[in-house]
Structure 1
Amino acid sequence: MAKDLEKQLEYFGVPWEEAHGYAQAVRVGNTIYVSGQLSHDDDGKLVGPAPVNASGRVTDTSNMELQMRTTYANAAKLLARFGATLDHVVEETIYVTDVDAAFAVAGPAREAAYGKEQPECASTLAGVTRLAFPEQLVEISFTVVPPG
């Protein structure tokens, strides 16, 4: 019989965790896997929602930087529960609905989040057709390895 994998799970208590059935982050051994984070407040309301037209398509991406900065802040709050910080991120994947808008703001947003002009992690930026919420412009997942 295989030994059960020891996991530490963390949640924000937002409605979509239960609806979709997932944890925001899972620690296994010394590695933390962070689910795609987005720009929401403590009540689960989207911060800086993009305006959408009647067919649900984004009409203005000017809130990309606000959403990106808030997403990094949410990830930092989550990592603090494990005694980790964004300094311990080894890989991130940034999903965006508009690659050009993301490239225009990603440098300053990432520098502010990581506190370095060149964050010390592998990073992938991928353009997608849509994210979980129509007004959502960015989602970021992380792999984190704190020391110890």
Structure 2
Amino acid sequence: MTVGAGETLPVSGRLSHDSAGTFIGTGDFEPQMTTNLGNLDRVLEHFGARRDQIVGTTVLARRLRDHFDTVTRLHAAYSGDHRPTGTAP
């Protein structure tokens, strides 16, 4: 769900589905994460926002310890020189 509140745009519930609603990356975490970040780009674009305006992200993943290196690598690549806070509980 995405609802703007003034100049704040909280984004939650992003999953690794394509535009037809098909789940991407069954059994393979990296394409799931990559698709999810691409979906986030589409949400930002829809609301006229940019990656460098992201303040923080939270990644929820099953077996996070198994995927932590992938999460940090892809998050860093996605963010570029901009470094929003990141949480992976």
Say yes or no: TM over 0.5. yes
Deviation at 1:111, TM superposition (A): 2.1
Q: Tell which has more relative contact order, 1 or 2 (C-alpha 8 A, sep 6+).
A: 1
**Unmatched tracts of structure 2, length 5 or more:** none
SS in 1 for 2:58: strand
8 A Cα contact 1:73 1:113, kept in partner: no
Please identify the structure whose Cα radius of gyration is greater.
1
**Unmatched tracts of structure 1, length 5 or more:** 1-23, 51-62, 127-148
RMSD: 1.3
Deviation at 1:125, TM superposition (A): 0.3
Deviation at 1:65, TM superposition (A): 1.5
Partners of 1:36 and 1:86 in 2: CA distance: 17
Deviation at 1:98, TM superposition (A): 0.9
TM-score normalized by the length of structure 1: 0.56
Q: Percent identity?
A: 31
Alignment of 1:101-112 (within 5 A): 101-112=66-77
Deviation at 1:86, TM superposition (A): 1.8
TM-score normalized by the length of structure 2: 0.89
Which structure has greater strand proportion? 1
Aligned length: 89
- Deviating beyond 6 angstroms after TM superposition, the runs of 4 or more aligned structure 1 residues are none
